[in-house]
Amino acid sequence: MINLLLAFLRRDWMRRASYRLLVVWQLVGMVGFLTVLYISGGALAATARSHGLGDDYIAFILAGLAFTDLFLTSMQAFSGTVREAQLQGTLEPMLLAPVRVPELVAGSILFPFAQSLFRTMIAISVAFFAFGLFHHANPLSALLVLIPGIITFAAIGVLSSSFVLAFKQGDPVIGMFAFVSSIVGGSVFPPSLLPGWVRSVGWLLPLTNALAGMRMALAGATPLQVLPQIGAMWVTTLVVLPIAGFAFRAALIHAKREGSLVQY
């Protein structure tokens, strides 16, 4: 299993590294984002304070952006890989190998996830060293939030790839989910600013609980304090995971019946 996952990681790294200019621009983009954040951080914090958002708006937005990226990457990576493999003609040779679907999912999301994790770690490090934030963070709580978060989002990604397998384009899951989550999930502004009923919808979304739990963990909350968020995410995981597994299997059977695995 480890060899298999490392093979996916190596493949994706080598493909990415072969586009040298892209690698350079991604690094430049990251440095640019952090520089802008560093320069505008003070001003942003002052503005946030004047609007009653408290002193830690920088921490709020940094954690929001960094972890939204991480969670949404877990969600989008698999369906993106399936789509790319359809277009490149590599889906069939991969499905011909004796690889189980969970292995294929794990292998496919590994590299994009590692990339996103790297970006997140850089953002958190900058927050830690440059802005003096997250000094009381509880890593155990953060890990306990991260695990169900990633599993839930990966499961939603599998659900989304079912649409890609069956219908090729027009996947309603990721677009809708990412849009709604980014508005009500608390990525860039607190859900408490939203109308009551929108807020209630927001708490049904895994991103809201994941970000709330992660922010609490970064502020030093103990595992017991983030238990409601962790519990909510595990409940979501237990609901979404079997649905996603069933949907993907059904989509695969549908594509095999229709003979449309290679179509795009």
Partner 1 sequence: MKASSSAYAVEVEGLTKRFKRPRTWSHMLRNPPLKVALSGIDLQVRRGEIFGLLGPNGAGKTTLIKILCGLVLPDRGRALVNGIDVGRNSLDVRRSVGVVYGDERSFFMRLSVRENLRFYSRLYRMQPRVAARRIDELLGLVDLEDAADLRMHYLSSGMKQRAAIARGLIHDPEVLFMDEPTRSLDPLGAEDLHVLIRDRVAAGGRTVMLATHLMNEAEALCNRITLIDRGHTVHTGTVEDFRALIRQEVVYRLVFTGGRPGWERGLHALPGVVKATIDSEEDAAHSIELVLDRRTTALPTAIRYLVEQSGDILSCNREELRLEEIFRAVVRQRRATLVEAAQ
Which residues sit at the interface with partner 1, rule CB under 8 A?
A: 3-4, 6-8, 10-11, 14-15, 18-19, 88-90, 92-100, 253, 256-259, 261
Reduced DSSP (H G I as helix, E B as strand, rest coil) percent helix, strand, coil of the chain, to 5: 80, 0, 20
Report whether 155 contacts 240 (CB < 8 A). Answer: yes
**Nearest CB to partner 1, comparing residues 5 and 188:** 5
Q: How far is the CB of 94 from partner 1 (least distance, A)?
A: 7
Pick 1 or 143: Cβ nearer partner 1: 1
Count of C-beta atoms within a 10 Å radius of residue 40: 12
The alpha carbon of residue 88 and the mean position of all alpha carbons in its chain are separated, in whole angstroms, by 24
**Is 156 or 255 the residue whose CB approaches partner 1 more closely?**
255
Smallest distance, partner 1 to C-beta of residue 177, A? 25
Number of helices followed by number of strands (H, E) in the chain: 10, 0
* CB nearer partner 1, residue 12 or residue 171: 12
Please report how close the Cβ of residue 171 comes to partner 1 at its closest, in angstroms.
17
Residue 156: exposure state from Cβ atoms within 10 A (0-12, 13-18, ≥19):
buried
On whether the CB atoms of residues 68 and 187 are closer than 8 A, the answer is yes
Give least dist CB 255 to partner 1, A: 9
